Amino acid sequence: MQLFLDGIFLGSIYALFAIGFTLVFGILDRLNLAHAAVFTAGALVGIEIVTRFGVPIWLLIPIVLVFGAVLGILIERIAFRPLAGRHDAHFAGLISSIAFGAILLSLLQALYGADTRRFPADAFPSTRVEIFGATVSLLQVIILIISVSLMVVLTWLVAKSKLGRGMRTIAENPHAASVLGLNVGRISSTTFALSSALGAVAGVLFTLNVNAASLGIGNAVELKALAVIVVGGMGSLPGALVGGLILGVTEVLAVNYIGSSWRDMVAFGLLFLILILRPQGLFGARKTREV
Amino acid sequence: MSDPILKVEGLQVNYGRVEAVRNVSFEVPEGALVTLVGANGAGKTSVLNAVSGLLRPRQGVITFEGNDITKWPAHRLVKAGLVQVPEGREILGTLTVAENLSLGGWHRSNSTLHAKVAEVYERFPVLFERRKLHAGALSGGEQQMLSIARALIADPKVLLLDEPSMGLAPKIVDEVFAVIEEIRLTGTTVVLVEQNARRALAAADYGYVLETGEVSHSGPAHELLADEKVIEAYLGLD
Amino acid sequence: MLAEYSSLITLIALTAILAYSFYAVLIAGQLSLAQVGLASLAAFTSALVVPAEPLFGFIPPLVIGIVFGMFVGAIAAFILGLPVIRLRGVFLAIATLAFGEMVRIFLINQSWTNGAQGLSFSKLVGPWIAWIALAGVAYWFWRLSGSRLGRAFAAIREDELAATTMGIDVPRYRMVSFVIAGAVAGLYGVLLAHFSRFADPNEFSFTAAVDGLVTAVVGGVTLFIGPILGSAFLSVLPEVQRVIGVDAGWIRPTISGVLLLVVILFLPGGLSGLIPLRKSTKRLIVDPSIRPSLPSLPAAGSELVNLSGLGKSYGGVHAVQSVDLTVNAGEVLGLIGPNGAGKTTLVNMVTALTPPSTGTGTVLGVPLSATTKAHRLAQAGVARTFQQIKLFNRLSALENVLVGGYRVTKDTLLRRLFFLPSARRAEREAMAMASAQLIRVGLGDKAANAAGDLSYGDQRRLEIARALASHPSLLVLDEPAAGMNHVEAESLSELIRSLAADGIAVLVIEHNVRMMLATCDRIMVLNFGEIIAFGKPGDIARDPRVLEAYLGSSGSDEDADAASALASENLAQVSADRDDAQRGLHADPDPDGVTNPEAN
C-alpha cells in the first residue's frame, strides 16, 4: 500500500506534466519540446520566490501558474506561430521549440547557476499522516490535491467552456474554425499558456516531492512524459492522467522489486509495448490526420 | 446606383510561386446574387478565400461596406457580417447538429444566438428533427443545409457560398438553390461560386466567368447564359 | 598552432559523421533519433572485439573495430526497425529516442562496460583518420544523391503515396535508410571511442541525440554537403566565442540556441540552402539513339483489366456498387459522372490504393484483392495521376520524371561508387527517357524548374509525363483536364489519343464531357456508385439518363429543352470532328434525334 501511494503521488506529477504536452498536441497538432525547460524554470523560479519572499504554498502555485502561462505565450509566438503554413511545420516546430528550450535553460543557468537548489528547510510543513496503514507526508497529499484539481479544472475547461469548444473545434478542423470566425491565433496562444502553466507547476511540485532541483530535471522527466502520452494516447487528456499514474506506480514497484538502476526503463518498456500492441494508446482514437 | 456592398479590384493570389488568381475584379451590389463560375482550378475558391480573410492576397484591394478589408483576418470579417459557407461543407462531424449551429454564433451573445437558432430551425425543419444527432451522420444534402444554416446564425450581410452543389444529387441541388433564393429574398447579398455554371447563372443577377485566374466574361447572368462562347466553353453537358 | 586545433578538427569530422547518420534517415523523410543509441552499442561492443595487436600481423585493429561497429550498427538498426518502421513523424521520433535511452540504461548496468565509470579505449584515431572516414561517408552520400536509390528516398520524403504508385516499395526503402543510418552511426561510435580514449554510456544520451539532429538540420538536408557544414558551424561557434571572450558558461548555449532558432525560422533549408544550385546542371538529352529499347507493350485489343463486381463501402455507405470493368490495350476508356459519383474511389481500387470491399479480377495479370499492394501493380505496368496533384514539389520537373522511370531503370549506386562507365550509360539512358517524356508534354524548357513553382496547367502535364516515364501498359488519369481552357484541353485530348495509338490503355476520369466525347472509345457513366450507362460516345451523348444525372430532373421544361438542344449541338459538332478524323462512328445526323428526358 505504501508503494502504491508513493506511486500515485509520483504519477500525479508525471500526469500533470504530460497533460500539458498532450493538450498542445491534441488541439494544435504540435509537439512542444520546450515544455521540459518550462518545467525546470517553474522549479527554479519557484525556489527563488520562496527563498526570497518566504511565500506559502497556496500563494506560490498561482504565481507559478501565471509565470508558466507567460512562458507559454512566448513559446507560441516565437517558436510556433512563425512556422504556420510551412509544409514542414511539424518538424520545424520540434527544432524551434528545442532551440527555445535551450535558450531558456541557459538563461536559467545564468541566473541560478548549475548547482542543485532546494527549498529552504522550514518552508513547508513536514507533518506526516497515516492513511490505510501507510505513512505519507502532508506535502505529498497537498501535491496530489493540487495536481488533480488542476487537471480537473483543465478537463472541465476543455469540455464545457466556450474556450474549450473553440479548442475542440480547432482540434477537429482548423480550417472550419477559421471559416466560422474563431480567433485561431488567440485560442492557440491560450492553449499554450494553459499547457505551460501546468508544466511549470509540475516542476514546482516535483521539486517539493524530492526537494532538489537542477537544470537537468526537465530533460529527465520529458522523455518519460513523452512515453506517458503515447501510452495514454496522444491528444487524450484522460489518457495523460491515467498513463502518468500507471507510470508512477509501476516505477515505484519496479524500484522496489527489481532495483533502482532499471527504474527509467519502465517508461520505455511500457512505450514499446503500447506501440506494438495498440499504437493509438489506451485512450487514443486512430487519428486520420497524418503527423 | 448606390455603392456595391462588396468590391474586389485587381486581386492577385499566389500559392508559393503559382499565380492562382491573376487580376480579378468584380462588384457585388447590395442585395444581389452574383456568381463566379469556371472550371476546376480556375481560381474561384482562391478568390473567395481571399475575400473571407483566409488567404492573404499578393495584390489587390477588397472593400466591404466602404471599408478596406484586404488585410482583415477571417474572425474580424465574420464579426462584421461577411460569412462563408465553405467548399466541402466543413461541418464538425463529432459534434451534434445543435452544437454545430451554436458554433456559427461564436461572436453573438447568448440571447441573440438562441433567437437565431430558433429562426434557423423554423426554416430548416429537418435540422430541428436531427438536432441531437452527430453531424457526421447526416446525408450530404442535410450537411449542406447545416453548413448554410450555421452561416446564417452569424446573421451575415454578405453570404459567400463555395460550390454548394458539389457531390449532391440533382433533386437536392434544387432544394439548395431554393434555399439560396429564399435567403436572397430576405435582403442578404449572396456571392455564389459554382462549377455547375448553368444552375448558378440561372439563379444569379450578375455573373463572372473565371478562366485560369482571370475574368474572361462578365455581365448580367441571363446574357451570359445566352452567350454562345460561354455555352461552348462551359455549359456543354454539365 | 595546428596541434592546438587538432582536437577540434577531429571533432568536427566526427560530429559530421554523426550528422550523416541523421541525414541518412532525414532524406527519406523519417525522424529517427536512434542513431546515438546505435553508436553507443557499436562503441562498447567493439571494445570486446578490437584486438590490441594487428590481426594476422597486418590488419589494423581500428579497421576491425570499424567493420564490426558498422555491422553492429546496421543489425541493431534493422532489429529496431522491425517494430518501429511503420511509425511516422513524432511517434517515430519518440520511439527512437526511447530506444536510445533504453540502450543507455542497459549499458550502464552491464559490468563489461564498467557502468558509469566508463571504459578506456586505445587512442587509434586522430584528425587524419577522422577526415578520411568522413570523406568516405561524404563520398557515399554524394554518389547516392544522383542514383535511383537517392531519388527514391527523396520521392518518399516528398510524397509517399505518389512514390508507391511508381513502383517504389516504401516500407522496404524506409528500412534501407534506417540500416544505412545505423551503419554510419556505428562508424561514429567506434571512431569517437577510439579518439576520446574513453567512453561511458551516459555520453550517448538524449541530449546527444538532439544535438545530432540539430547539427543535421542546421547543415540542411538538401545537399549532401549539409552535415559537414552543420558540424563545422556548430563546432566552430563555441571556439569563436571563446576567442572573442564571451565565455561565461551560460552565454555560449544561449547564443547557440538563438542561432538555431534563427536558422530554423528563416533558413528552412539549413546552411546548405544558402548555396545556390547550379540551375542547368542537367541538360536534356534528345538523341534518340541513347534511349534504351524498352519491352513492347501488349498487343492492341488485348484485355488488360478484367474486374467484376467491384465495390467499396464505408460503414453502411456504398461508395461504389458492383461495377464490372474491362480495359483493352490501345483504347481510351472514359469515366464520367457528377461529383461524388464514386469515380475516384473506383479508380483507387483499380490502382490498389483503396482495398475493395467486394469484387474479383485481375489488373495486368495481377489478381486484385484487399491485400494487393499498389507498388506491385505499378511494377506490373500501371501508372496514374491524381485528382489533387501529387508532385514531388521540391524536386525539379526533370527529377520528378526521373523518379517516374523507377520501374524501367536499374539501380546504379554501387557502380556509381566506382565511376563505372556502365553506370554513366544507364544514367544517360534514364535521362534520355525522361527528357523524351518532358518534351512530349511540352515542358522541355521547364525541366530545371521546381515542380511546386510551375503553373497549374504545367503541373498537370508534368504529372502525366511522370506517369508515362514508367512505360506503362495502363495509364490512369484522374481529371487531367481540370482547370484547362479550351485550347489546352484539345491538345491534351490529342496527347491521350496518341498514347492510345502507341498501344497504351488509358482510363480517364473527367468532368469535361465534351472533351471525353471526342477522346474516348468507350465511356462509362457512374452515378451514386453505380454504372448508369456504358457504351460508345455517341450513345452516351444521347442517353437521357446521362443528361438527367447531370442536369437535375425536376428542372423546368425550358431547361430540359435547352439541355437537349445543347446536347444535340454538341453531338453534331462531335460527329463532325469524328468524321473528319475518320473514326467511323455512326452519328445521328438528325438534330432532333435526342429524345426528351422521360418524366420521373
pLDDT digits (tens, 9 = 90+) for C383-411: 999 988 899 988 889 999 999 999 888 88
pLDDT band at A291 (very low <50, low <70, confident <90, very high): very low
Structure confidence at residue B14 as a pLDDT band (50, 70, 90): confident
Closest CA to C151 of C446, C414, C424, C396: C396
Q: How many CB atoms lie within 10 A of CB A59?
A: 12
Which pLDDT tens digit goes with each residue over C348-394? 999 999 899 888 888 888 888 888 889 999 999 999 999 888 999 88
- pLDDT tens-place string over residues C228-252: 999 998 888 877 777 777 666 677 7
Whether chain A has a CB inside 8 Å of the CB on C101: the answer is yes
Residue partners of A259: CB distance under 8 A and separation at least 6:
none
What percent of chain A is predicted at pLDDT more than 90? 26
> Number of residue pairs across A and C with CB atoms under 8 Å?
119
Which residues lie below 8 Å from residue C465, measured CB to CB, with a gap of 6+? Answer: C397, C400, C401, C404, C437, C438, C440, C441, C443
Give residue B232's pLDDT.
61
| Confidence category of residue A220, pLDDT binned at 50, 70, 90 | confident
Identity at C169, one-letter amino acid code? D
Test C552 with B170 for CB contact under 8 angstroms: yes
Give the Cβ contact number of residue C231 at 10 Å. 26
- Residue C561: pLDDT over 80: no
Taking residues A160-188, what's their average pLDDT? Answer: 89
- pLDDT tens digits, one per residue of B148-171: 999 999 889 999 999 888 767 777
Q: Each residue of A265-281: pLDDT tens digit?
A: 888 888 888 887 887 78
Q: A134 in helix, strand or coil?
A: strand
Whether the predicted pLDDT of C589 surpasses 60: no
In three-state secondary structure terms, B1 is coil
pLDDT in tens, C69-118: 999 999 999 999 988 888 877 888 888 988 888 888 888 888 777 777 77
In A, which residues are within 8 Å of C108 by CB distance?
A: 261
In C, which residues are within 8 Å of A114 by CB distance? 249
Measured CA to CA, the distance from residue C561 to residue C553 in angstroms comes to: 12
Look at residue B195 in the predicted model and tell me its pLDDT: 76
Nearest to B92 among A173, A183, A184 (CB): A173
* Contact flag C91-A103 (C-beta cutoff 8 Å): no
pLDDT of residue A165 exceeding 70: yes
Q: Check residue C496 and give its pLDDT.
A: 93
In the stretch 125-154 of chain B, residues with CB closer than 8 A to chain C read 140
pLDDT for the residue B234: 57
> Which residues of C lie inside 8 Å of B (Cβ-Cβ)?
338-340, 452-457, 459, 479, 482-486, 511-514, 528, 541, 546-555, 559, 563, 566-567, 570
The Cα C453–Cα C446 span in angstroms is: 10
**CA distance, residue A147 to nearest chain C CA (Å):** 25
Reported as a pLDDT band with limits 50, 70 and 90, residue C591 is: very low
Distance from CA of B35 to the nearest CA of C (A): 18
Q: What is the mean pLDDT of residues B129-154?
A: 88
d(CA A190, CA A193): 5
Q: Of B17, B41, B174, which is closest to C552 when you measure between CB atoms?
A: B174
Task: Using an 8 Å CB-CB cutoff, list chain A residues near B93.
Answer: 172
Task: Test B236 with C513 for CB contact under 8 angstroms.
Answer: yes
Residue-wise burial string across A120-155, b where 16 or more C-beta atoms lie within 10 A, e elsewhere: eeebbeeeeeeeeeeebbebbbbbbebbeebbeebe
B15 to chain C, closest Cα gap in Å: 9
Say yes or no for a CB contact (<8 Å) between A179 and B77.
no
Separation between Cα atoms, residue A231 and residue A239, nearest integer Å: 8
- Binary contact (B18, C551; C-beta < 8 A): no
Neighbour subunits, A (≥3 Cβ pairs < 8 A): B, C
Partners of residue C336 on adjacent β-strands: C525
> Kindly report the CA angle at B106 between B100 and B107, in degrees rounded to 5?
155
d(CA B161, CA B196): 13
How many CB atoms are closer than 10 A to CB A216? 14
Q: Which residues in A lie closer than 8 A to residue B90 (C-beta atoms)? A: 173, 175-176, 179
CA angle C507-B164-C549, nearest 5°? 45
Predicted local distance difference test score (pLDDT) of residue C588: 36
Calculate what percentage of chain B has a pLDDT beyond 70: 90
Instruction: Pick C519 or C563 by higher pLDDT.
Output: C519
According to the model, what pLDDT value does residue C371 have? Answer: 86
Element (H, E) at C144: helix C127-145
B83 Cβ under 8 Å from any chain C Cβ: no
- Provide the whole-model pTM: 0.82
* pLDDT score at B228: 66
Question: Beta-carbon neighbour count of residue C249 at 10 Å?
Answer: 11
* Mean confidence (pLDDT) of chain A: 85
Contact A179 B74 (CB under 8 A): yes
| H-run or E-run covering B218 | strand B214-220
All three cell numbers of C437, joined, read 517524356
- The C-alpha of C572 sits at a distance from chain B's nearest C-alpha, in angstroms, of 13
B118 Cβ under 8 Å from any chain C Cβ = no
CB C280 within 8 A of CB C445: no
* Residue C43 scores a pLDDT above 70: yes
Residues 6+ apart with CB under 8 A from A235: A22, A25, A26, A27, A171, A284, A287
Task: Say which range, A116-125, C46-55, C490-499, has the weakest mean pLDDT.
Answer: A116-125
Q: Chains meeting C at 3+ CB pairs closer than 8 A?
A: A, B
Distance from CA of A182 to the nearest CA of C (A): 26
Please compute Rg for chain A using Cα positions.
19
Best A265, A270, A274, A278 residue to mutate vs chain C (most C CBs within 10 Å): A265
Note the pLDDT of residue C316. 74
Q: Mean pLDDT lowest for which of A251-260, C9-18, C149-158, C417-426?
A: A251-260
Which pLDDT does position C568 carry in this prediction? 57
**Residue type (1 letter), C490:** E
Q: How confident is the model at residue A103 (pLDDT cuts 50, 70, 90)?
A: very high
Report the pLDDT value the prediction gives residue C475, as an integer from 0 to 100. Answer: 94
Mean pLDDT score of chain B, rounded to an integer?
85
- Band (pLDDT 50/70/90 cuts) for residue C572 is low
Q: How confident is the model at residue C449 (pLDDT cuts 50, 70, 90)?
A: confident
DSSP H helices in C310-388: 343-350, 374-380
pLDDT of residue B135 exceeding 80: yes
Inspect the interface and report whether the beta carbons of B79 and A181 lie closer than 8 Å.
Answer: yes
Residue C516: pLDDT band with limits 50, 70, 90: confident
pLDDT, greater one: C58 or B164: B164
**Testing the interface with B: which of C446, C456, C459 to mutate, by most B Cβ within 10 A?**
C456
Written as nine digits, the cell of C332 is 481510351
Scan for cell 484483392, then name that residue.
Answer: C369
Q: Which residues in A lie closer than 8 A to residue C31 (C-beta atoms)?
A: 91, 94
Of the spans A165-174, C178-187, C226-235, C294-303, which averages the highest pLDDT? C178-187
Answer whether C439 touches A (CB < 8 Å). no
Our CA dihedral for B69, B73, B78, B83, rounded to 10 degrees, sits at 80
pLDDT at C453 over 70: yes
* Closest chain B C-alpha to A82 CA, distance in angstroms: 15
- The C-alpha atoms of residue C278 and residue B63 are separated, in whole angstroms, by 44
Length of chain C as a residue count: 600
Q: Which of A38-52, C175-189, C316-330 is predicted least confidently?
A: C316-330
Work out the average pLDDT over B103-115. Answer: 86
> Would you give the DSSP letter of residue C595?
P
Does residue C570 register a pLDDT over 60?
A: no
Residue B62 Cα, gap to closest chain A Cα (Å):
18
Neighbouring CB atoms inside 10 A of B61's CB total 14
Summary mean pLDDT of chain C = 82
Nearest residue of chain B to residue A163 (CA atoms): B106
- Minimal Cα–Cα distance from C591 to chain A, Å? 48
Nearest CA in chain A to B52: A179
CB contact under 8 A, A271 and C95: yes
Q: Which residue of A has its CA nearest to B107?
A: A181
Higher-confidence position of C566 and A284: A284
Minimal C-alpha gap between A162 and chain B (Å): 9
Query: Using CB atoms, which chains have 3+ pairs under 8 A with B?
Result: A, C
- Provide φ and ψ at C526, rounded to 5°: -110, 140
Query: Is the pLDDT score of C192 beyond 60?
Result: yes
Tell me the pLDDT tens digit for each residue of B31-44: 999 999 877 666 78
Minimum CA–CA partner of C488 in chain B: B212
Q: Please report how the helices A217-232 and A265-277 are oriented relative to each other, as an axis angle in degrees rounded to 10.
A: 30
- Give residue for cell 501558474: A65
C584 — pLDDT class (breaks 50, 70, 90): very low
User: Average pLDDT in the C566-586 region?
Assistant: 48
Strands C474-478 and C382-384: parallel
